[in-house]
Amino acid sequence: MKINFIQFLGFLLFSTSPLFVAGQDTLIQAGSEWKYYDAGNEPSGNWTDLNYNDTSWASGFAQLGYGDGDETTVTDDDARTTYFRKSFLVNNPIQYQSMLLKLLRDDGAVVYINGTEIWRDNMSSGSVSYSTFSNAMVSGSDEDAWLDRQIINNLVVGMNTVAVEIHQQAFSIFNSDISFDFQFLADTFKQDSIIRGPYLQNGTSNSMVVRWRTADLSESILKYSTDINTITTIIQDPMRKYNHEVLITGLQPATRYYYEVYNESDTLSAADSSQYFQTNPISGQAVPTTIWALGDCGSANNNQRAVRDAYYNYIGNKHTDVMLFLGDNAYQDGTDSEYQNAIFENMYEAMLSKTVAWSTIGNHDAHSASPSNQSGPYFDIFSFPKQGEAGGVPSGTEAYYSFDYGNVHFIVLNSESLGGLGTGGSMYSWCQNDIQNTNADWIIGVWHHPPYTKGSHDSDFEPQLFQMRNNFLPMLEANGVDLVLCGHSHSYERSYFLNGHTGLAFSFDSAQHVVGANGGGDGKIGGDGAYLKETIGSNAGKGAVYITAGSSGKKSGGDLDHPAMFSSLNELGSCVVEVQNNQLDMKFVRENGQIDDYFTIIKNMPVTSINSVSKDNRPSLEVHPNPSSDMINITTEAKLKFVQVFDNKGTEIKFISGHPTSISVKDLPNGLYIVAGTTANGQHLFQKLVVGK
Amino acid sequence: MHKIITILFLINFCNYTIFAHGDLDKRIQAKTKAIAQAPKNSTLYLERGFLYHQHEEWDNALADYLQAQELGLQEKILYYRMAETYLELYLFKSGLICTQQYLAQDSLDVKIHKLRGELFYKSRAYDDAIYSFEYVIQHSVDLTPENYVTLADVYATKGISQKNLALEVIEQGLEKLGSQVFVLQEQKLKYYKKFNLTKQALAQYDIIINSNTRKERWYYQKASYLYQQKKFKAAKTHAEAAKKAFEMLKPHQQKTKAMIQLLANIHTLLQNLENQ
């Protein structure tokens, strides 16, 4: 088919492929000579390492493999897994901005550069061994297909090594071949493409921040729409930069928007069904909420990926509403390049592009970042609410802040800055006002240093842990905190349903510190029973569960015998918290998919909804006159259970039970509001209201 | 006396923490082994010193830092860590000497000026503390409420003659960080009360009440202040407003310990007002 000049120009301008500028070096050519090991077992020692001695391995030119007849070098057809290595010299790695790997594989492959895994295809998560089969059989034209993977530069001066293991799918008469070839291309000039993100930050019920990093200076251009086929609304910042941050405002609550990222000449990240952002529901509204919490995840290794994949398998196609990093997100020092490997590349990019990530600062993050002046990579990478824009009281700092998601209020504290942990400090004062200002049904506290742990850290001795327990816990508990999520110790430790335990571990007394008849049990429906947070009787308002969940990247053991803990596990995993109305369920999902612990808290409060927010087939809610400065009339064919009026920050201003036909807005300052009606069956109906003449 | 008690506490705490578990202990042990193999390596002492520092074992940290210095290390990070440690040990003059050695290498870093401000403030050299904290505010890219509160507190400590300057600093903070930043609004209220600016304090209470969604606590606080000022009628109005706001809370909010205490306080205040 011929293409004319205009079509060709259009292709150049609008191709979704990265635009290569100039200067590409080929570090490994297709058809190169490789060392290989096909002895029918796993090579001894760390065969992926740069310095591994592979002199005893055979060598041959690619394509390597057997069974197809197109191989240049035929390897042993008895080997279930065949191992390949190639070393190459790089004198000036800094000249390379980004790199492209191309892989021909049949069936599964794991690729390492200098001992670090950077690509896995057609293989399950977790550790692999000689006997691990690939996920699926590769056949037909796929056997000759080159797969691409863009990576950032992680080469070193001098010798570098690529190591690849090719796994057979299963031995059968239908699959008696393997194939391997590889190319390594490096761009000496910057390449106009996204090298970080896009990722979502600071989501509210009417706004969203989208961030990304480009390899070259470029304009920030973002398009979005609720219709994936008609993405037209555009935001453009002509200032050319590497790190892009776009604030989108005027959005509808609880709505999914698809988005695309551009530079001035190209699509950098095209919309698809998995690239979207979803605005928060209006603060205070009870919607089913899924929270994924990861503590001390930043190992940038396969443990971390296994924990990730176990959660991905758990959640499937369901949307994750909140992603929480509990600190120490990138080892060893929280540098920008460590964040690239531990968070953004070959790690959480699929989740970060559709779910807002929030974080608290860990001690390792603080090696390179300073909460006192909000400087360093941690503060450069994340955008957190300082003005209360996501709900809560304005803190004026990103070191500690709060946000709402539906009927859950999150209070994120900075437990790293020891000097700021006193009861007379600014953070304490802010926190007390914040927790006494929320109307959310659930309150979750988040910080790094756990009040109770006997893992790789000890809460009896270390000052931050001690101070958080002594200073903040009494205040948080007095104001009804329900759940506290921390990291720091690389283990999973989960408490009973507690109140008032601020002493050392030995002083824990279940008769004194456990709340309710079920509080000292397992918290499991079907077991000892869920933990009950009462509103009447002597236990009213008391009880919280404390979780140390710092094993999302590595596990480091410890005594694991804190008496306040129901469960103490030296296992990898992450926490899934699911809130629906008056029930909170938590599961600890291991890296192998097993759920090793779970519990439920049930809160004795009126249930306002049992359905998620749905935009489909909802009756309309009309408000008139609109604008108004006096009385507004409300009409809807639905029968309302109650009506709320929210300001533009999502704060509830009015609550009227029953089905009012009119509401006075005389007392409201001029501005934009949301009138929300909730029906008896839990449907939420919204209408914007302008108060003013 | 305060200094002696603090040092005794620190010594006691250091003895206590020496038995601590965890990553830090393992890392200290590993660093100690490394030092045994290379006892002349000054960087190793700096690194181990910082591990002690993280444990708040200040005397051990200082011993390592001094050893690193003895072995010839002159990096500015060493002087910064030493100054931090001297601050914790209430040895302010020694701390200031270290900051001067840092400044000789890097006079622009806001971090060292902040630390000097703290050292000057603790040693009651208020004018020097003001100079340092002002430098931090003028030269920081991202400021926090604490930057303003710290500077304002130095002015406030100097006495009532400096009240306008203390309040001015808070105003600057509100302008820079956002007019609703709670810590600064609350600090402003504290100064109005401290300097007996009753009218302004009452107006400031209203600003905080209006910026809060839940108002029960702040109505009560204002009522208590009015009671102290012997403005009984207004105090009663606000105490009743506090009670009404409390009654608007959801049942599970009313039953928290803090709100039960607040309600009891409101009742006590109303009772006292009845007796007037």
User: CB contact, 8 Å: A604 with chain B?
Assistant: yes
| A430, A462, A463 member nearest B183 (Cβ) | A430
Say which residue the tokens 């802040």 belong to: A401
Q: Which positions in chain B touch A456 (Cβ < 8 Å)?
A: 21-23
The confidence score (pLDDT) of residue A619 equals 76
User: CB contact, 8 Å: A386 with chain B?
Assistant: yes
CA atoms within 13 A on the CB side of A337: 5
Mutation target vs B (from A368, A374, A461; most B CBs, 10 A cutoff): A461
The confidence score (pLDDT) of residue A266 equals 83
The confidence score (pLDDT) of residue B12 equals 36
Measure the CA–CA gap between B195 and A185, rounded to whole angstroms: 70
User: CB contact, 8 Å: B274 with chain A?
Assistant: no
Q: What does residue A43 show for φ and ψ, rounded to 5 degrees?
A: -60, 145
User: CB contact, 8 Å: A643 with chain B?
Assistant: no
Measure the CA–CA gap between A475 and B259, rounded to whole angstroms: 11
Please, what's the b/e burial string for A403-425 (b: 16 or more CB within 10 A of its CB; e: otherwise)?
bbbbbbbbbbbbbbbeebbeeeb
Q: Strand pairing partners for A575?
A: A293, A588
B25 Cα to chain A: minimum distance (Å): 9
A479 and B256 within 8 Å at the Cβ level: the answer is yes
B16 and A461 within 8 Å at the Cβ level: the answer is yes
**Which domains can be identified in chain A, with CATH numbers?**
19-187 (2.60.120.260), 194-278 (2.60.40.10), 289-603 (3.60.21.10), 621-691 (2.60.40.1930)
All residue ranges of chain B with pLDDT < 50 are 1-21
The angle, 0 to 180 degrees and rounded to 10, between the axes of the packed helices A426-435 and B182-194 is 110
Q: Strand pairing partners for A164?
A: A84, A111
Q: Strand pairing partners for A599?
A: A586
Please, what's the b/e burial string for A223-248 (b: 16 or more CB within 10 A of its CB; e: otherwise)?
bbbeebeebeeeeeeeeeeeebbbeb
Measure the CA–CA gap between A396 and A387, rounded to whole angstroms: 6
All residue ranges of chain A with pLDDT < 50 are 1-22, 173, 190, 609-616
Which sequence spans correspond to the domains of chain B? 142-211, 216-276
* DSSP character string of A535-569: SSSTTTT--BEEEEE--SS---------TTEEEEE
Q: Could you tell me which chain A residue has the CA closest to the CA of B208?
A: A433
Q: Strand pairing partners for A445?
A: A411, A484
B183 and A541 within 8 Å at the Cβ level: the answer is no
Cβ(A441)–Cβ(B250) below 8 Å: yes
Q: Could you tell me which chain A residue has the CA closest to the CA of B111?
A: A373
The confidence score (pLDDT) of residue B152 equals 97
Please state the ipTM of this predicted complex.
0.84
B259 and A387 within 8 Å at the Cβ level: the answer is no
B181 and A395 within 8 Å at the Cβ level: the answer is yes
Please, what's the b/e burial string for A113-143 (b: 16 or more CB within 10 A of its CB; e: otherwise)?
bbebbbbbbbbebbebebebbbeebbeeeeb
Measure the CA–CA gap between A526 and A515, rounded to whole angstroms: 19
A508 Cα to chain B: minimum distance (Å): 19
Q: What is the DSSP letter of A273?
A: T
Considering Cα of A365, then A370, then A374, then A375, what sign does the dihedral take? negative
Cβ(A576)–Cβ(A512) below 8 Å: no
| A437, A457, A478 member nearest B23 (Cβ) | A457
pTM (global) more than 0.90: no
Nearest to B237 by CA among B256, B220, B262, B259: B220
B92 Cα to chain A: minimum distance (Å): 17
Which spans in A636-690 are helix H? none
Say which residue the tokens 């283990």 belong to: A491
A443 Cα to chain B: minimum distance (Å): 11
The confidence score (pLDDT) of residue A55 equals 92
Cβ(A288)–Cβ(A578) below 8 Å: yes
Q: Could you tell me which chain B residue has the CA closest to the CA of A540?
A: B255
How many Cβ pairs closer than 8 A exist between chain A and B? 153
Coil, strand, or helix at residue B203? helix
Coil, strand, or helix at residue A164? strand
Please, what's the b/e burial string for B203-215 (b: 16 or more CB within 10 A of its CB; e: otherwise)?
ebbeebbebbbbb
Cβ(A128)–Cβ(A165) below 8 Å: yes
B182 Cα to chain A: minimum distance (Å): 6
A603 Cα to chain B: minimum distance (Å): 8
A436 and B217 within 8 Å at the Cβ level: the answer is yes
Measure the CA–CA gap between A402 and B28, rounded to whole angstroms: 36
The confidence score (pLDDT) of residue A12 equals 33
